[in-house]
Amino acid sequence: MAELIVNTGALLQNYRRYADAGQVIPILKGNGYGLGAQPLRDLLARQGVTLFACATPEEALALAEKLSKMIQYDTTSYANVAEVEKFLGFHKVLEELFPLVHEKLEKTEIDGNLLFYWKGKSSEKPILLMSHQDVVPAEGEWVHAPFSGDIAEGKVWGRGASDTKASVMAFFQAVEELLSEGFVPPTDVYLASSCTEEWGGDGAPKIVAELQRRGIELFLVCDEGGAIITEPIGGIHGNFAMVGVFEKGKADVKFTARSNGGHASAPSKGTPIARLSAFVNEVETHSPFRKKLLPEVSAMFTELAPYAGFGMKLVFGNVWLFGPVLKAVMPAISAQAGAMLKTTIAFTVQKGSDAYNVLPQEAYVGANMRFIPHQGEKESLEIIKKVAGKYGLETEVLHANDYTPPVDIHGEAFHLVEQTIADTFPGLPSSPYVMTGATDAQFYQPICKSCIRFAPVVYGPEQMKGMHGLNENIEYNCLPGAVRFYKNLIRAEK
């Protein structure tokens, strides 16, 4: 590992060059022109620059090449389609890339899902590192073919680059390097990777069942979800370690309107589509769900306050006073932040008549709901069913699961992750984060009270746009930091 000693005055003058090259610059030594390293780290963090002990270009490229080989193997998964042989083929790629992991650790394969066990000096407070192998289908026209694994423009391109083969590569590489040093972890370490995450399948539950069979209670699960995110909320510029502490629940719900049908030339009032439209309009314009600043969300605003402009800093830094203002304006500033305040509903599917001149006897809209702890699955579904009833609609819940219990943000496990972030990325601000999407971590709740969602890679606007979309990629200069994070987490005394 190389560490560059720089003159702080010159660095202040040229930091934007480093930021544009990938948001990463080396740790600073000394006081330079009288400005200490920590104040400079804080200053640059506000400008979107993450600092850590830098890797050589050769190290970053070597990791990019490993990730590229993983991307080149297509691990697309489809709901309720078992393709075990496909994933067994991917496991051979992992064995070629990480031979010591496969030689030294105890491997368990369950229908294409992976579990590795690394015996530590103690079996108390075991930890589990995880991300999934599978990826979503790649459609449309890509600049670089979706399974090319091309390395170009400082990035590794292809489906799974950021979601989530980068983090799989990083924790496998971390263990590979520690094994090469003869390291023995202070406590037992597990590595897990399911092949059904993208459609919420039974892969992770099978791994959990195996751990339950062994009688394992985990101290910490570290999954994907949060990350080092560029501008996590509109108006908050820079990179921030956003650490996911719980997931909202979710449901797919169908709302159906019925009638006797008829010819469109003589329509009666209150046709199915008219009633559905009125229902959707009411929900969209007057949300029936209550906004609340949960402790984890208040903590997030408090952590982000120092990096905001004056107005936002004043509001974020005094949530006790400006809570009502925040609840009112956040959805307009950031849809992501607004979703952390309440249960949400998004209408995603609709169907009416098969002909333009026929009034439908049945029409429906489908919606995806995400439940917040203060109005969980039961209450939120009752609320929306009551609104739908005003318009004579039938409500059918196709699938539902509630939110996960929040991690204790004052607890030992959360503080361990925060400290590891600070040790790995000096000067990088970190904050609790509410997961509005879903991950495999939800299935580990029965065996772990601290399921944390954090992948130590940088997701800028381009990476966020590419996830599940076109031209997915990851900037490969962030990969050495990801490996270092996992190594530090494994080394840490629990």
Residue 39: pLDDT band (50, 70, 90) is low
Ranges 277-281, 303-307, 315-319, 462-466, most confident: 277-281
The answer to whether residues 192 and 130 touch, using CB atoms and an 8 Å cutoff, is yes
Q: What is the pLDDT of residue 37?
A: 45
Contact 18, 40 (CB under 8 A): no
**Cis upstream peptide for 420 (omega within 30°):** no
Q: Per-residue pLDDT for 43 more than 80?
A: no
The pTM is what?
A: 0.88
Cβ partners under 8 Å of residue 267, min gap 6: 359
* Chain segment 131-158, per-residue pLDDT in tens: 999 999 999 999 999 999 999 999 999 9
pLDDT, residue 161, reads: 98
SS3 372: strand
More confident residue, 363 or 231: 363
**pLDDT for the residue numbered 41:** 53
Residue 96 has a CB neighbour count (10 Å cut-off) of 11
- Beta carbons of 378 and 251 less than 8 angstroms apart: no
Side chain identity, residue 197: E
**Mean pLDDT for the stretch of residues 181-189:** 98
Look up residue 288 and give its amino acid.
P
pLDDT of residue 46: 54
Whether 253 contacts 353, CB under 8 Å: no
pLDDT in tens, 192-235: 999 999 999 999 999 999 999 999 999 999 999 999 999 998 88
Please count the other Cβ atoms lying within 10 Å of the Cβ belonging to residue 254: 16
What pLDDT score does 493 carry?
A: 87
pLDDT(300) > 80: yes
What tokens appear for 266 in the block? Answer: 């003589």
| Residue 2 confidence class, pLDDT cut points 50, 70, 90 | very low
Say if residues 117 and 218 touch (Cβ distance below 8 Å): no
pLDDT at res. 65: 98
User: In this predicted model, what pLDDT tens digit does every residue of 51-102 receive, in sequence order?
Assistant: 544 578 899 999 999 999 999 999 999 999 999 999 999 999 999 999 999 9
Tally of residues, the chain: 494
Average pLDDT over residues 405-415: 97
**Are 218 and 448 in contact, with CB atoms under 8 Å apart?**
yes
> Which range among 214-228, 275-289, 307-321 shows the weakest confidence by mean pLDDT?
307-321
CA distances (Å), 122 to each of 184, 214, 392, 414, 494, in order?
10, 16, 61, 20, 10
Separation CA 237–CA 186 (nearest Å): 38
CA-based nearest residue to 416, from 264, 280, 243? 243
Residue 427 class from Cβ within 10 Å (0-12 exposed, 13-18 middle, 19+ buried)?
buried
CA distance 269 to 259: 11
pLDDT of 417 strictly over 90: yes
How is residue 151 annotated by DSSP? E
Give residue 51's identity as a one-letter amino acid code.
L
Going by pLDDT thresholds of 50, 70 and 90, the confidence category of residue 332 is confident
Virtual torsion, Cα 200, 205, 208, 213, nearest 10 deg: 180
Among the ranges given (21-25, 60-64, 78-82, 313-317), the one the predictor scored with the smallest mean pLDDT: 21-25
Residue 113 CB coordination number (10 Å):
27
Q: Has residue 262 got a pLDDT over 70?
A: yes
Residue keyed to tokens 């009112």? 328
Out of 4-18, 156-170, 443-457, which region has the weakest mean confidence (pLDDT)?
A: 4-18
Helix (H, G, I), strand (E, B) or coil at 492: coil
pLDDT at 28: 38
Question: What one-character-per-residue DSSP string does 160-209 give?
Answer: TIIIIIHHHHHHHHHHHHHHHTT---SS-EEEEE-S-GGGT-SHHHHHHH
Q: What is the mean pLDDT of the chain?
A: 90
Q: What is the CA radius of gyration of the chain?
A: 24
Judge whether residue 387 has pLDDT over 50.
Answer: yes
Distance of CA 333 to the CA centre of its chain: 21
pLDDT at position 247, please?
A: 97
Q: In a 3-state reduction of DSSP, which class is residue 93?
A: helix
